[in-house]
Amino acid sequence: RCADHPEFITQNAQVRRLLAQADRVAESPATVLLTGESGTGKEVLARRLHGCSPRRRASFVRLNCASLPEGVLESELFGHEKGAFTGAVRQHLGRFELANRGTLFLDEIGAADMRVQLRLLRVLQEREFERVGGAETLRVDVRVIAATNVDLREEVRKGTFREDLFYRLNVVPLKLPPLRQRKGDIPLLIEHFIRRLAAQNRCKIRGLDAAALNHFLAYPWPGNVRQLENALERMVILASDSLLREEDVPEEIVHWQDEEEPDLSQRDFKEARNSFERHFLCEALHRHRGVISQVAEDVGLSRKSLYAKLEHLDIDYQHYRT
Q: Is residue 149 one of the residues assigned to a domain?
A: yes
Q: Is residue 122 one of the residues assigned to a domain?
A: yes
CATH (domain of 72): 3.40.50.300
Q: Is residue 4 one of the residues assigned to a domain?
A: no
Q: Which of 155, 177, 199 is a domain's end point?
A: 177
SS (H, E, C) the chain: CCCCCCCCCCCCHHHHHHHHHHHHHHCCCCCEEEECCCCCCHHHHHHHHHHCCCCCCCCEEEEECCCCCCCCHHHHHHCECCCCCCCCCCCECCHHHHCCCCEEEEECHHHCCHHHHHHHHHHHHHCEECCECCCCCEECCCEEEEEECCCHHHHHHHCCCCHHHHHHHCCEEEECCCHHHCHHHHHHHHHHHHHHHHHHCCCCCCEECHHHHHHHHHCCCCCHHHHHHHHHHHHHHHCCCCEECHHHCCHHHHCHHHHHHHHHCCCCHHHHHHHHHHHHHHHHHHHCCCCHHHHHHHHCCCHHHHHHHHHHCCCCHHHHCC
Q: Are residues 57 and 149 in the same domain?
A: yes
Is 159 or 260 the better-scoring residue by pLDDT?
Answer: 159
**How sure is the predictor about 89, in pLDDT bands with cuts at 50, 70 and 90?**
confident
**pLDDT value at position 262?**
43
**pLDDT value at position 5?**
56
Q: Is residue 293 one of the residues assigned to a domain?
A: yes
**How sure is the predictor about 153, in pLDDT bands with cuts at 50, 70 and 90?**
very high
Q: Which of 144, 177, 210 is a domain's end point?
A: 177
Q: Is residue 7 one of the residues assigned to a domain?
A: no
Q: Are residues 185 and 144 in the same domain?
A: no
Q: Are residues 313 and 264 in the same domain?
A: yes
Q: Is the pLDDT of residue 264 over 60?
A: no
Asked if 59 and 112 touch (Cβ cutoff 8 Å), the reply is no
Q: Is residue 51 one of the residues assigned to a domain?
A: yes
d(CA 129, CA 123): 6
Q: Are residues 56 and 98 in the same domain?
A: yes
Is 62 or 202 the better-scoring residue by pLDDT?
Answer: 62
> Which residues span the domain enclosing 295?
181-320
Question: pLDDT tens across 99-133, in order?
Answer: 999 999 999 999 999 999 999 999 999 999 999 88
CATH (domain of 287): 1.10.8.60
Q: Are residues 85 and 167 in the same domain?
A: yes
- What does the pLDDT average to over 276-305? 82
Q: Is residue 1 one of the residues assigned to a domain?
A: no
Q: Are residues 283 and 268 in the same domain?
A: yes
**pLDDT value at position 56?**
94
Q: Which of 123, 154, 177 is a domain's end point?
A: 177
Q: Are residues 133 and 207 in the same domain?
A: no
Is 276 or 157 the better-scoring residue by pLDDT?
Answer: 157
Q: Are residues 162 and 231 in the same domain?
A: no
Q: Are residues 54 and 89 in the same domain?
A: yes
Q: Are residues 102 and 193 in the same domain?
A: no
Q: Is the pLDDT of residue 186 over 90?
A: yes
Q: Is residue 70 one of the residues assigned to a domain?
A: yes
d(CA 52, CA 60): 12
**pLDDT value at position 103?**
98
Q: How many distinct structural domains can be found in the chain?
A: 2
Q: Are residues 149 and 194 in the same domain?
A: no
Q: Are residues 64 and 185 in the same domain?
A: no
